[in-house]
Amino acid sequence: MGWLSQRIGQRKENQAAVWLKQQGIALVMSNYRCKGGEIDLIGQTSDGLLVFFEVKHRQTTFHGHPAEALTAKKQQRLYHAAQWFLQQHPAYQSCPMRFDLLTFVGNQTQPQWLPNAFGGW
């Protein structure tokens, strides 16, 4: 990924973080990295649900919607990273959990939120 794509991606993750806070999601961590995976944002709802967020952006939908970039391989990496996160942060292990997807197209400033984008638990 080129530096411009990285900058846009980071900007969209920041926009997503601000938007999630406005929705009442408490951010636990951003850009969690481990060997073999990364989670863009981790948040928790007021009722204790732990949510692992993947943020995807595409400039246009000419080559498909950003949600199409959440391949089975990417889902497996997210699941693996979530397992690592839970091992390192045992206080969250008893929380109910899910994987959500936040997508942006073009200059969109508020994401489309796809709750429970894939299983895993």
CATH of segment(s) 3-118: 3.40.1350.10
Tell me the percentage of the chain whose pLDDT exceeds 70: 94
The separation between the first and the last C-alpha atoms of the chain, rounded to the nearest angstrom, is: 30
pLDDT at residue 108, as a whole number: 87
Q: What confidence tens digit (pLDDT) does each residue in 42-96 have?
A: 999 999 999 999 999 887 777 778 888 889 999 999 999 999 999 999 999 999 9
pLDDT at residue 22, as a whole number: 96
Return the beta strands (E) in 1-121 as ranges: 26-34, 37-44, 50-58, 97-105, 112-118
User: What are the residue ranges spanned by the domains of the chain?
Assistant: 3-118
pLDDT at residue 15, as a whole number: 93
Q: What is the DSSP letter of 23?
A: T
